[in-house]
Amino acid sequence: MRLSKRLAAVSALALCAVALQGQGQAQAQARQQPPAGAFGGAPIMHTIKEGKVYWALSGAVVGYVIGDTGVIMIDNGWPQASGAIKSVTNKPITTVIETHDDTDHINGLYNTPNADKLKIIAMEDNWKQQWTSFKWTEKPKATCPQSPMPPAPNVIIRQPRVETTIDGVKFVLHHFGPSHTGHDLIIELPEYKVAFIGDVVFDADLFPDHPGLPAQDHGMFWKSEKRGTPRGMFHNVDELLKLDVTTFIGGHGNNALTKADLRTKRDLIKADYEKQAAMVRGGMSLEDLRKAVGDDKYGARGGCIAYVDLPWYVYTETKRDMQELKNKGTVK
Q: How far is CA 283 from the centre of its chain?
A: 34
Q: Which domains does the chain have, with CATH numbers?
A: 2-327 (3.60.15.10)
pLDDT, tens digit (0-9, with 9 covering 90-100), for 295-318: 887 755 555 666 788 999 999 999
Residues 6+ apart with CB under 8 A from 226: 100, 101, 129, 132, 133, 137, 181, 182, 183
* pLDDT for position 208: 52
Q: C-alpha dihedral over 155, 156, 158, 162, to 10 degrees?
A: 30
User: Residue 287: in which H helix or E strand, if any?
Assistant: helix 286-293
Whole-angstrom distance, CA of residue 49 vs CA of residue 47:
6
* pLDDT for position 145: 54
Q: DSSP string spanning 34-62?
A: PPTTGGG-S---EEEETTTEEEEEESEEE
Pairing of strands 169-174, 93-97: unpaired
* pLDDT for position 35: 35
* pLDDT for position 99: 97
Beta strands in 167-319 (DSSP E): 169-174, 186-189, 194-198, 247-250
Segments in the chain below pLDDT 50: 1-40, 136-139, 209
* pLDDT for position 41: 57
Q: DSSP string spanning 76-121?
A: --STTHHHHGGGT--PPEEEEE-S---HHHHGGGGGSTTGGG-EEE
* pLDDT for position 104: 82
Distances in whole angstroms, Cα of residue 71 to Cα of each of 2, 281, 301 = 22, 51, 38
Sheet holding 161-166, edge to edge: 161-166, 169-174, 186-189, 194-198, 247-250
- Whether the CA torsion 175, 179, 185, 188 is positive or negative: it is negative
Terminal CA-CA length for the chain:
69
The closest of 239, 237, 151, 146 to 199, measured between CA atoms, is 237
* pLDDT for position 254: 85
